[in-house]
Amino acid sequence: GMGGRQVRIDKKYGEIFDHHFVEYEYKDGSRMYSQCRHQPNCWSSVSEFVHGSKGTADPHGHVMPLSGSGEAYHFEGNSKDPYQVEHDDLAAAIRNGLDYNEADNGAHSTMTAILGRMATYGGKEVTWDAGINSNISLMPKVFSFDADPPVLPNSDGVYPIAVPGLTKVV
């Protein structure tokens, strides 16, 4: 992953980066590229692109086959709001007395995002196992509205900022 802070440098932004680019590689060799930029007056994108054995795709419904393997697919129907679909599925399960549990998907997608943050903040490749087994915690010591967060600013109100290549993330 690559990322940094170029525009959001005021202390009001805390410790966050203003741009990230992460390449995820899966066991089967497929890849997902995820990017975001939060900088005024710039082209901005928060998007993902997937590259697999039969072609490439983006989450906006475009599937492009590998060179010479056929026509690209584009969904022509009416797209549904994925957030509404999740709510509809949950409500249908409740009405029909069915189990509906997205905990595994939620945990895996959250960990995928955490791995991306680890890679951009640390500037190094981070495997799933290394990320899962990291002893570095971003959790507060106590869960309470009046508890201190895990990272505090200095006396000037400035938070420590990750330096890729130097910041330890695993």
Task: Look at residue 76 and give its three-state secondary structure.
Answer: coil
Q: CB neighbours of 150 closer than 8 A, spacing ≥ 6?
A: 137, 138, 139, 140, 141
Q: Can you give the pLDDT of all 170 residues of the chain as single tens digits?
A: 999 999 999 999 999 999 999 999 999 888 999 999 999 999 887 888 887 777 777 766 666 666 556 666 666 778 788 889 999 999 999 999 999 999 999 999 999 999 999 999 999 999 999 999 999 988 888 999 999 988 899 999 999 999 999 999 99
Domain range summary for the chain, segments of one domain joined by +: 2-132
